Structure 1
Amino acid sequence: MKKPSNLKYWDGLWDSPVNEEDDNYILEKEIKSIRWQRIEEGLKKHFGSIDRISSIEIGGGMGTYSAIMARNGAKARILDYSKTAIDRSKIFFEKNKVKAEYSQVDIFHMDHSLFSKFDVCMSFGLAEHFKGKQRTDVLKAHLDLVRAGGVVIISVPNKYNPFYMLYKTVFEFFGKYPVEEYPFTRNELRKYCVSNQINDYYFIGDSIMYSLNYLYCLIYRINPFVIFKKIFKIKNKYYISKIKKEKGTIIDAYFGYALVLIGKK
């Protein structure tokens, strides 16, 4: 498995062919996700409106959630140490006709001029790639960047999602899991809140039904239909009009793949 500090790995991940149809579909699908619906509800309850608030997404990669924030009127910034990721994000934003500012910065060596500057600091799939002091520092970085009274949103893989853990265990056994990843529990995030005096916080999740995709991924390579499409180079078609608003369940926050902490500084 690759180390999270392996810049070559992350550059390779984001240096892929770009398809405008894919980018539009990715954004619209996430807008309809139950995770965003729940985040949006929390932000509107706290700020009244997303319009004109400032947000920063750290380890942002393509910046899907920053794009959603920007579409809702927020002033979005993406922070990532990979130039390739930032370049990919700029294309993604251009395709979706939204704007953002960018900072190519290592999260462990941030410019203090960014501290306490944002209403919202968020990450989606960042902290789980670290352990020990680096893990603690990544979590703390969210608080460093957000102003007093602002909101931190930390989305990480849930150790208690059975489908993700099965997928991860199988691929790690065969040495095929691409990067180091250490999922979280609610208890670990609670300890983070307590140690940083975050008293007002709660958890949400994405759809546990959506995480069934991990079972599909386990049999993906032996799926005859997938093999047929590869042989004949048949591309997937994306129909934005067919995307339906995702529904959630009462167990998502406990067993969904994404464990999301929303806390007030």
Structure 2
Amino acid sequence: MAPELADALTPADLLTADGGEVTQELIDAAPQFWSVVLGYADVLCDIATGKPVDEDDVDWDTAEDDEAVAAQGLRHTNTVEWREARTAEYFCHDHDGAGLSLTPVMEAARSSAPEAGEAAESTLTDEERAAEYARRSREREAAEKQERRRVRELNKQAEAATTVRREFLRTSLLARKTPPGAAAAYVAATIAQDPHLLTEHKAGEVLAELMGLPSVYPGKDIAAMAAKGTEARAQVLTLALVLAAQESRMVKDAWRSKPRGADRYLSFLMGQGYTLAAVEEIITGQLTFDEVAID
């Protein structure tokens, strides 16, 4: 008897009796309940061994730089390559017989009314249904791969933007003898709304970088500079404390996490003549994740 089309489910749609994932071992132990569709796909592999490598285990910032050192726990891009490999996708046509149950998501999908496209799909043969599942799976994997690539590229753009932004802070704002326009209002509003900003653990490190100070704990240095300088210069130093603390939150994926105060911070910089990079415009809401060019 041919398998019911409605029961052709992927391992991700199913759970074991104790709520665990359906593994390859379980499939191999009961092959009579499964169909397999063979195909080809690009797989990231270790160059030396040929074994598959998870994309998240690679430091993609090392690309095209053989001298770069990969981040801790990650590997250099020159140790991996994309290879075409044979793939197998499995579809269960009798999950009850296999002793499996539907995931809550699939249970909800099965209990809902069928959509128009599903009615047409019910006329497919078993082989066509399996091929359709495989096609959708490939499309999903391609979309996920593209999204991971976009994240990596936007992170690179964000790091480049940080270099430009900090140079602007050093040369255009914090080297001044008098505070720029709107600085007092920005400082007052920021501290009032975010009183713990100045105590964040990397604020001092960034302040030292921006002000060219030798210590990552520059409080005494700033106090001494304020004591020796003019009243106007002291206001610039106060601005430096706030900008450095906010800048310390601008990690490479700030475009995604959107740290507290980051939109107001970038808007303030724009008011001082700074031109936002496209990746920074995600934070201010001028662009979306998908609108930033990555090629």
Specify if TM > 0.5: no
Q: Looking at secondary structure, tell me which structure has more strand per residue.
A: 1
**TM range, smaller chain:** under 0.3
| Superposition TM-score, scaled by structure 1 size | 0.23
Identify the structure with the greater helix proportion. 2
Whose relative contact order is higher, 1 or 2, with alpha carbons under 8 Å and at least 6 apart? Answer: 1
TM (normalized to structure 2)? 0.21
Question: Larger radius of gyration, structure 1 or 2?
Answer: 2
